Amino acid sequence: MIRSYLDNAATTPIRSEVIKVIIDTLKYSFGNPSSTHHSYGRKARSIIEESRINIAKIINATPSEIIFTSSGTEANNIILRSSILDLNIKHILTSPLEHSSVLQTVLDLSHRYKIIVNFIQLKEKGGIDFNHMEELLKKNSSFKTLVSLMYANNEIGNLLDVKKAFFLCKKYNAYFHSDTIQFIGNFPIDMKKNCFDFVTASAHKFYGPKGIGFLFVRKEIIKKMRPFITGGFQEYGIRSGTENIYGIIGLSEALKLTSFDFKNHFNKIKELKFYCISELKKIIPDIIFNGFSSSFEKSIPTILNFLFPTKKDHLLYFHLDLMGVSVSRGSSCDSNVKKMSHVIKSITSESLLKKMMPIRISFGIFNEKKDIDLLIEALQKIRK
């Protein structure tokens, strides 16, 4: 059966070159990277530090600003929880469209430590209301504040106007954290040109292995952070535990390979998205795209989200899968929850959601036009 995988925002296929590097490391580098008194341990340690240097070079950071984690979710947790415990943050400013690893953590922190939490109002299609953001920053200027806003939304692809966010954070002396998990590895980013204090990334979003991610922390801030996981001195003492050297080298290799060809990847995926939009409009003339996902200026090309006219049927995605098409309704982290996505509910009226279902299509470098053709054919059958 011919299949079309269009759920790259959930996870991407691993590149064959990355698999080879991981297998070679599994075979020949079994030493504990903390056992540096012999060559086996030193070899493992060198793999980690060379990977750290490679990653830092690609995102224009210093190696000491990179901390490896088990996932993007863990990275977000370390930043948010450490900000409260180590940076004396008393006020967190975020949006209703953030990933659950941010929203649930923020709510947990507000209960545990009585932190003030404010949510920035949304403009049409889920854009951030920067006037409201400034009002909240000004109102709470007596408190140390952390602003947490994702660079590219994982469900609707909306891009944050980071320049405006940087300006306001600097104006009100707030720390700025950005979940860049859908961005880093797919598009170029420069830590020295951008004013992020913290960012997070996950290897399996850019053709690397699952179970490995990293966080970037400005070097002047990392000195203030105490251990998040205790029991050793790995990862500059922030995250104890024997490092996942196979995941780390896989992450590094995947990031290196995508960085070689950012421009061509961008152009290819942009063309796929344009083709998909035009084909969808042919079969659904009154189609409603969610957020700015159909915009080439305000969203990332990898994500397209729209409402499909059908009765509220959570088997829609299962029917598509039976026809060989893999898509999703939103974040994979919430896929076991039958409730409608909090992102879609935040930007869509209840009346629409009673008669339409959201579909998230996410493109990758291994997709071709034939994948979209299969999707269109399957949607036509369901409509009939």
- Pinpoint the alpha helices (H) of 288-368: 316-322, 342-347, 350-353
Residues 230-279: pLDDT tens digits?
A: 988 899 999 999 999 999 999 999 999 999 989 999 999 999 999 999 99
Residues 189-226: pLDDT tens digits?
A: 999 999 999 999 999 999 999 999 999 999 999 999 99
Question: Among residues of the chain, what percentage have pLDDT more than 90?
Answer: 88
Region of poorest pLDDT, from 87-91, 254-258, 320-324, 352-356: 352-356
Cα–Cα dist 40/61, whole Å: 29
- Which two tokens mark 45? 């340690």
Phi-psi region of 231 (alpha: psi -120 to 50; beta: other; left: phi over 0): left
Catalytic residue chosen out of the listed positions 169, 195, 276, 333:
333
Arithmetic mean of pLDDT over the chain:
94
Q: Quick one: DSSP state of residue 13?
A: P
Region of poorest pLDDT, from 86-90, 96-100, 135-139, 330-334: 330-334
Q: Can you list the domains of the chain with their CATH numbers?
A: 4-12+261-383 (3.90.1150.10), 16-259 (3.40.640.10)
> E strands, 47-131, where?
66-69, 91-94, 116-119
* Of 125, 135, 189, nearest in space to 162 by CA: 189
Residues 90-132: pLDDT tens digits?
A: 999 999 999 999 999 999 999 999 999 999 999 999 999 999 9
State how far the alpha carbon of 370 is from the alpha carbons of 137, 219, 307, 322, in Å: 48, 46, 22, 17
Q: Is the pTM of this model over 0.85?
A: yes
Whether 276 sits among the annotated catalytic residues: the reply is: no
According to DSSP, the β-strands at 145-148 and 116-119 are: unpaired
Q: What confidence score (pLDDT) does residue 294 get?
A: 93
